[in-house]
Amino acid sequence: AAQAAFRAGGWNHYRIEAIGDSIRTWINGVPAAHLIDDRSAAGFIGLQVHGVGGNRERIGSQVRWRNIRIIAEDAGAYARPISLVGRPKHNTLSPEERASGWRMLWDGKTTKGWRGAKRADFPPVGWEMESRRGYDGVLRVLSSGGGESRNGGDIVTEEAFENFELSLEFKLSEGANSGIKYYVDTELNKGVGSAIGLEYQLLDDARHPDAKKGNHAGSRTLASLYDLMEADPAKMVKPVGEWNRAYIRSVGNEVEHWLNGRKVLSYVRKSAEFRARVARSKYAKWDRFGERDAGLILLQDHGDLVEFRNIKVKRH
């Protein structure tokens, strides 16, 4: 209906309401979209200039705007009813993601597919799942004073992964430390501490002392390959209390770490450089560390409050 309401070549009236986690749009009074998304609490408003690509006949085309108005205070008082049901963005896949092979690694509701790293079932304490309004699940590791794996302990996938892409969102509390590990072998380190694997570091760099530590300079900062390689210092980080997106791609031993849509480091597992870095790290005592052909994915309990959602994976 909204597409039919658009007047090609004529003036169109657009209305956009961004109130709380609800984004609703109308075209010429006809409801167009209703999205639920609280990832960004604030941002700029932009008017897009789009290239014509190979359509040379469109060179010289114009787009014009007028009567641009905004209400930014008490906007809820001016909200209009809409007939469209809000489409949740969290813990769901788009049709395009499904078609390309992505699937949810956490369903947003249950412990299905996950267990404790050092137990056969899901930890009975230390982790909780919040379902807000029945659709927006958040997986939360609780604070217990900053101790490594001393409360509920780490959790791992029941499946092992070899070549994959992993995407998730995380929210740090002030001063928090956690991590996303991959190629994890839970048979190593049966004692105190976290399970062993390569780690995408999650850290409040500004407040946690680990940011200034590491056997390689900067290698314990956010999005770094923990204790082995520093993430790009110019990385784009959203403030504590807001959602950030982590992405890991590992295909054919070539690994990339991304943060909020930007690549922050890359390396090659099993390479001479990789092995040299391991030899000068805390992992030197583990034989052929990080070289397993396949392993589990882990979310770390480091004793600080950290939240996760939209955990999805794609095999290669």
pLDDT of residue 39: 65
pLDDT (mean) for 210-222? 95
Q: What backbone torsions phi and psi does residue 209 show, to the nearest 5 degrees?
A: -65, -20
| Digit-coded pLDDT (tens) for 298-314 | 999 999 999 999 999 99
pLDDT of residue 47: 92
Beta strands in 47-126 (DSSP E): 87-88, 102-104, 114-116
C-beta contacts of 109-115 below 8 A and 24+ residues apart: 109/137, 113/157, 113/158, 113/159, 114/155, 114/156, 114/157, 114/158, 115/155, 115/156, 115/158
Antiparallel, parallel or unpaired: β 296-299 and 136-141: unpaired
pLDDT of residue 25: 94
8 or 314, greater pLDDT: 314
Please list the residue range(s) of the chain that carry CATH number 2.60.120.560: 95-315
- Taking the C-alpha atoms of residue 303 and residue 146, their distance in angstroms, rounded to an integer, is 4
What is the model's pLDDT at position 133?
47
pTM: 0.80
Do residues 189 and 235 touch, judged by C-beta distance below 8 A? no
| Strands across the sheet containing 196-203 | 114-116, 155-157, 296-299, 177-185, 196-203
- Residue 142, classified by CB atoms within 10 Å of its CB into exposed (0-12), middle (13-18) or buried (19+), is middle
Q: Where are the alpha helices (DSSP H) in the chain?
A: 2-5, 95-99, 272-279
pLDDT in tens, 69-98: 999 999 889 998 888 877 667 888 888 899
* pLDDT for residue 309: 94
CATH number, domain 95-315: 2.60.120.560
| Predicted pLDDT at 240 | 94
Q: How far, in Å, CA of 81 to CA of 316, rounded?
A: 44
Mean pLDDT of 44-70: 88
> Which pLDDT value is given to residue 131?
61
Please report the pLDDT score of residue 134 as a whole number: 47
Rounded to the nearest 5°, which phi and psi values hold at 212? Answer: -100, 10
pLDDT at 10 over 90: yes
**136 pLDDT band (50/70/90 cuts)?**
low
The structure tokens listed for 112 are: 């299905």
pLDDT value at position 62?
Answer: 86
Residue-level pLDDT at 135 = 46
